[in-house]
Copies of this chain bind each other. A is one copy, B any other.
Amino acid sequence: MGTVAFVGLGNMGAPMARNLLSAGFKVQVYDVVTEMAQELGAFGAIPCASIEEVTRGADTVITMLPAGEHVRAVYLSDDGILDHVSGDTLLIDSSTIDPETARLVGQQAGGKGISFTDAPVSGGVAGAKAATLTFIVGGKEQDFSKAEQVLRHMGKNIFHAGDVGSGQMGKICNNLMLGILMSGTCEALNLGIDNGLDPKVLSNIMLQSSGRNWALELYNPCPGVMENAPASNQYQPGFMSKLMLKDLGLGLEAATKSQSSVPMGALARNLYAFHNMNGNEELDFSSLFEFYQSQSKS
């Protein structure tokens, strides 16, 4: 199966690495927090102490990091990944970051004849554990094909969005849409409730009509309407409000750079900013419903 170097072993990275181990890959692991690499040793991974060590002999390098600054540091700084790999290695960054950083790393890698793809995921920790993540991949057609051979052991849907950076853009666009869907669903349900409608009845009507959308189908934000949704479980995530705020922020940043108009996404971002700062940032993102409801209950 080949050798994979895995850098970044947090809530997402660790279970993803374990799925590669289960699939039969040789997996070398590294994290700035040394214990995290050690822990994965128990499952067959090879803990490494440096970027140089973890990338040695690897066919594929996968990184899963918190933000663009970490990605730039890990790939581009002295003694970073680009200093230690050769043209045979495929680089895959699965962090969710700004497309500009992805393109910058891609260019620097390309300048050394090394293939780079950005491959952000959705599906959360649950998806990482169950190997059911969605990957949205940016990179050359042939690099995508090679990446897919590895990614399919960690995910279910693997999309090719375009050139390097397109993976990030694809995720940004989707999650901008999602933020709008959730805000709108909260708003429509709350308006109905304020005017005497039963949220179950209204949800059912919209699900079978032109108001149908992913948030309403799978994440109904009104407690009691959908048994298995976070809303019926004190808004335990799920997908945390702070991650939605981060993703909508990436959307605004991209729109600012391309001078695109994103009034709906910008408004959704600001609703989440209001909501989160009241101590709700670790709740599921469907808890935005309470921002609307608290209003109408006083």
Taking beta carbons and an 8 Å cutoff, which residues of A are in contact with B? 99, 122, 134, 136, 157, 159-163, 165-166, 169-170, 172-178, 180-181, 183-185, 187-192, 194-198, 201-202, 204-206, 208-217, 245, 249, 251-256, 258-271, 273-274, 276-279, 291-292, 294-298
CA gap between A273 and B296 in the complex, in Å: 9
Copies in the complex: 4
From known contacts A178-B211, A211-B174, infer whether A260 and B273 are also in contact, taking CB-CB under 8 Å.
Answer: yes
CA gap between A163 and B188 in the complex, in Å: 18
CA gap between A185 and B296 in the complex, in Å: 26
Tell whether, in the assembled complex, residue A187 and residue B196 are in contact, meaning their CB atoms are under 8 Å apart: no
Tell whether, in the assembled complex, residue B267 and residue A295 are in contact, meaning their CB atoms are under 8 Å apart: no
Tell whether, in the assembled complex, residue A267 and residue B265 are in contact, meaning their CB atoms are under 8 Å apart: no
Q: From B162, B208, B211, B277, give the contact of A294 (CB < 8 A).
A: B277
Tell whether, in the assembled complex, residue A266 and residue B267 are in contact, meaning their CB atoms are under 8 Å apart: yes
From known contacts A261-B190, A261-B277, A273-B295, infer whether A174 and B213 are also in contact, taking CB-CB under 8 Å.
Answer: no
Q: From B214, B245, B264, give the contact of A183 (CB < 8 A).
A: B264
Q: From B172, B191, B212, give the contact of A173 (CB < 8 A).
A: B191
CA gap between A1 and B64 in the complex, in Å: 56
From known contacts A196-B169, A254-B191, infer whether A180 and B178 are also in contact, taking CB-CB under 8 Å.
Answer: no
CA gap between A265 and B263 in the complex, in Å: 11
